[in-house]
Amino acid sequence: MRATAIAQPNIALIKYWGKRDVARNLPAVGSISITLSELFTEMQVHLDARLSADTLTVNGQADSAMLPRLGSCIDRVLGDGRPHAEIRSRSNFPIAAGLASSASAFAAITVAAAAAAGQSPSTAELASLAGRASGSAARSLYGGFVELANSEDDIVVRTIAAASEWPLNVVVAITEAGPKAVGSTVAMETSRKTSPFYSSWIEQQDQDLDAARQAIHDRDFSQLAAVAEHNCLKMHSVMWTSRPPVVYWNSATMRCLQAVRDMQADGLGVFFTMDAGPQVKAVCLPECTDAVRASLASVNGVTEVMVSALGDGARLVEPG
């Protein structure tokens, strides 16, 4: 009744922002992401009928902050009347700071919980279960370039190109290590209800998805850069024009964007994207990685720089 799974966060190039159905956590738009290789969350789930409650340790310390959401995620996988779980989580990057830690956490716990109970659902079923906890988590079940399609009652997730088919790198510039001020669920609903740009955001998503899918198919870096930056800035424009405004950026975020613009002017293959946090992710061609890392590390306010290649989907590391 014990299993351990590992999952890597994913970074959306075409973003998910807004829910069609909050109760079932269905996204209002499709999205395309890349799964990273170097950052990880490992989850061990130990189901034991003798436990009187679920428990959670994060990197060796008791920490109940994520426990209600993790517990509900296990409920959805195993159903009511399941035994309580001792959950041990370990990760090598800041949690809840806009680095998609919830994506890797919920992907890993979904895989671990099913295996701990002796179940072997398909990857599509696991993605659907993980997506109920965190929309972006569904994408971390798959590796490489991943598309989440927004169909009527469920989500359909698939790899559209394997990591090895187009080996890009991602340089993550950390500008603030603390947890984000507003969680994505609350912020998405604020945007849906109040941003005058929300309906345009939804209407235009399919054309951005088409452009990104084509750029990935053609391995056309500059086309992917153009549509990914546009889509990211459009999502942040929806956030900024919400009431109250949802602004995750700080001054170092802006300086990182400027550094990426300068590198692009120098001919480097790099583009930026940002999520619900102040960190900047610079996606780059492998040969540009050292220059991108050095440039972002020298930006005033950047406290840490991490480099990752593209990686695989969530998987078991220890059979139950």
Residue in 4, 31, 44, 242 binding ligand PMV, rule: CB under 6 A: 31
Residue in 5, 6, 9, 15 binding ligand PMV, rule: CB under 6 A: 15
By CB under 6 A, tell whether 195 contacts ligand PMV.
no
Interface of this chain with ligand PMV, residues 76 to 95, rule: CB under 6 A: none
Are residues 102 and 96 in contact, defined by beta-carbon separation less than 8 angstroms? yes
Residue in 9, 30, 94, 135 binding ligand PMV, rule: CB under 6 A: 135
By CB under 6 A, tell whether 184 contacts ligand PMV.
yes
Does an H or E element contain 148, and which? strand 145-150
By CB under 6 A, tell whether 102 contacts ligand PMV.
yes
Stretch that binds ligand PMV, among 55-63, 76-84, 132-140, 211-219 (CB under 6 A): 132-140
By CB under 6 A, tell whether 180 contacts ligand PMV.
no
Q: Which is nearer to ligand PMV, 95 or 288 (CB)?
A: 95
Q: Which is nearer to ligand PMV, 89 or 295 (CB)?
A: 89
By CB under 6 A, tell whether 276 contacts ligand PMV.
yes
**267 dihedral zone (left: phi>0; alpha: psi -120 to 50; beta):** left
Name the percent of the chain in helix, strand, coil, to the closest 5. 40, 25, 35
Residue in 4, 9, 16, 279 binding ligand PMV, rule: CB under 6 A: 16
Q: Cis ω on the peptide bond leading into residue 244 (within 30° of 0)?
A: yes
Interface of this chain with ligand PMV, residues 35 to 74, rule: CB under 6 A: none
Distance (Å, rounded) from C-alpha 116 to C-alpha 302? 40
By CB under 6 A, tell whether 12 contacts ligand PMV.
yes
Distance (Å, rounded) from C-alpha 168 to C-alpha 212? 15
For residue 26, which amino acid is it? Answer: L
Distance (Å, rounded) from C-alpha 58 to C-alpha 55? 10
Q: What is the DSSP string of 20-33?
A: EETTTTEESS-EEE
> Which residues bind to ligand PMV, rule: CB under 6 A?
12, 15-17, 31, 102, 134-136, 184-185, 275-276
